[in-house]
Amino acid sequence: MDGRAEVIVGAQWGDEGKGRVVDTVAGDVDVIARFQGGANAGHTVIVGKEKYIFHLLPSGMLYSGKTCVIGNGVVVDPDKLLEELGGLQEQGKDRARLVVSGAAHVVFPYHKILDGAEERFRGREHSIGTTRRGIGPCYVDKVNRMGIRVEDLLSPDTLREKLSTNLEIKNLMLSRVFGEDPLSFDEIYNKARSWGKSLAPYVGDCSVVISDALSRKQGVLLEGAQGTLLDVDHGTYPYVTSSNPVAQGALTGTGLGPSAVGRVIGVVKAYCTRVGSGPFPSEEKGESGQYLREQGGEYGATTGRPRRCGWLDMVALKYAIRVNGIDAIALTKLDVLTGLETVKVVEGYTPASGAEQSGTVYPNHSVALAGTTPAYSGFPGWDDDISGCTAFEELPQGARDYLRYIEEQAGVPVVLIGVGPERDQTIRRGL
């Protein structure tokens, strides 16, 4: 370890397999930190017959002797966090030490109600398809300087003062704008105090914890949630989440400077999926999409919604490599493509205006993106079961050609290959 952290980010629309990649490599590091998003995330980790879905906890919780950090950039729903932690404790699997940043913002019940009410207000045509976990409204409060932070839960007077101002405004919005019932101050205050008591042992300063680890040359992984194309600045706005899942978010979301980061690893699914609304040029609405969904088990880890499925999009991937500064790719779910006669990939777009668009120029404006027609290349598929392969050389010709093509086009190496959902169904080539 060279005293610099590795950032693991989603390079598509989320659900690329970030959790399993983090779990696969977490054994080799000391600190694993989440830096943005909240309980909208669902990171699946499969170890043997056991399946864990992490929403707020970092995907390193199953390892003893590690420190797992929830960074200041995360929005914490304490009910969800305590539920997740309790679940692990019951099974004796809360093996890592947990640190929750005092500066992380708290998701309150009114954020979740507002999330649902705003989605209804947008109507079917314009709704984002949020997870309704209160993410957008909580980040709005943070940026509007009205938010309540984890550290406030520990201080009864500050909490009372902040919550009463906040709830007064929220109740006006709920009742007068959205026609919802106002919420009781006492009920929320008492709940928040009990959250404070339960979370107190975990509250700390994430910047100090991570920087200390780096100065001791310990290994640090910064685990992103969601994906590049859901980034509020660089994604398909407005069909995005309300935080920065790109690698840069790892710095503001934990309190580190750019020189603290060594490699940026982009997690890429061998095809593409998207949950919720928004443009998806390579989406397959017919049989092939259904095939990918069934073979890949593409149903949301948080909401259970069927994921929209389509082909790998090289234009979008090159864009993700540029905006994140991705140094290497972890490619997941290669096994899902087994059995296909042809594996398709988007190589360029023709925008509505007619001029061919390719390279790293990605029309991330959602209207422009929705108007494009993708141009595909096709690769011969393979039939051999690859789920037991442990080395690149063991993969069938078609799979090797597909990987080489991705490396060549992306200009970065594929350093990890997922050939199945379990921890060990991984070919490691430098990660």
List interacting residues with Mg ion (CB under 5 A): 15, 42, 301
- Is 276 a binding residue for ligand IMO by CB under 6 A? The answer is yes
- Is 84 a binding residue for ligand GDP by CB under 6 A? The answer is no
- Is 16 a binding residue for ligand GDP by CB under 6 A? The answer is yes
Could you say which of ligand IMO, Mg ion, ligand GDP, none residue 241 binds, taking C-beta under 5 to 8 angstroms by partner kind? ligand IMO
Count of positions on this chain that bind ligand IMO (CB under 6 A): 24
Pairing of strands 220-223, 5-10: parallel
Site for ligand GDP in 41-60 (CB under 6 A): 42-44, 46
Applying CB under 6 A, which of residues 42, 71, 102, 398 lies at the interface with ligand IMO? 42
> Nearer to ligand GDP by C-beta: 161 or 424?
424
> Nearer to ligand GDP by C-beta: 118 or 335?
335
Query: Active site residue: 23, 30, 43, 105, which one?
Result: 43
Angstrom distance (rounded) from CA 357 to CA 355: 6
Angstrom distance (rounded) from CA 49 to CA 139: 37
> Nearer to ligand GDP by C-beta: 54 or 110?
54
Let me know if 15 is a catalytic residue: yes
Let me know if 234 is a catalytic residue: no
Applying CB under 6 A, which of residues 112, 274, 308, 333 lies at the interface with ligand GDP? 333
Closest residue by Cα to residue 312 from 239, 407, 246, 241: 407
Angstrom distance (rounded) from CA 60 to CA 23: 6
49-57 contact pairs (CB < 8 A, 24+): 52/88, 52/93, 53/19, 53/301, 53/302, 54/19, 54/84, 55/80, 55/84, 55/302, 56/80, 56/81, 56/84, 57/81, 57/84, 57/85, 57/88, 57/98
Could you say which of ligand IMO, Mg ion, ligand GDP, none residue 421 binds, taking C-beta under 5 to 8 angstroms by partner kind? ligand GDP
Cβ at position 380, least distance to ligand IMO in Å = 31
170 sits in which H/E element = helix 156-172
Site for ligand IMO in 198-237 (CB under 6 A): 225-227, 230
Applying CB under 6 A, which of residues 20, 34, 105, 133 lies at the interface with ligand IMO? 133
* Residue partners of 230: CB distance under 8 A and separation at least 6: 10, 13, 14, 236, 240, 241, 245
Query: Hey, how many other C-beta atoms are within 10 angstroms of the C-beta on 413?
Result: 15
Give backbone dihedrals phi and psi of 157, rounded to 5 degrees, phi first: -70, -45
- The SS3 assignment for 428 reads strand
Unique residue bearing structure tokens 């200009």: 411
**Contact between 398 and 379 (Cβ < 8 Å):** yes
> Nearer to ligand GDP by C-beta: 113 or 331?
331
Region at 48 (left for phi over 0; alpha for psi -120 to 50; beta for the rest): left
> Nearer to ligand IMO by C-beta: 35 or 195?
35
- Is 68 a binding residue for ligand IMO by CB under 6 A? The answer is no
- Is 170 a binding residue for ligand GDP by CB under 6 A? The answer is no
> Nearer to ligand IMO by C-beta: 275 or 386?
275
Mark the segment that binds ligand GDP (CB under 6 A) among 163-171, 190-198, 283-291, 331-339: 331-339
6 sits in which H/E element = strand 5-10
- Is 118 a binding residue for ligand GDP by CB under 6 A? The answer is no
- Is 32 a binding residue for ligand GDP by CB under 6 A? The answer is no
Catalytic residues: 15, 43
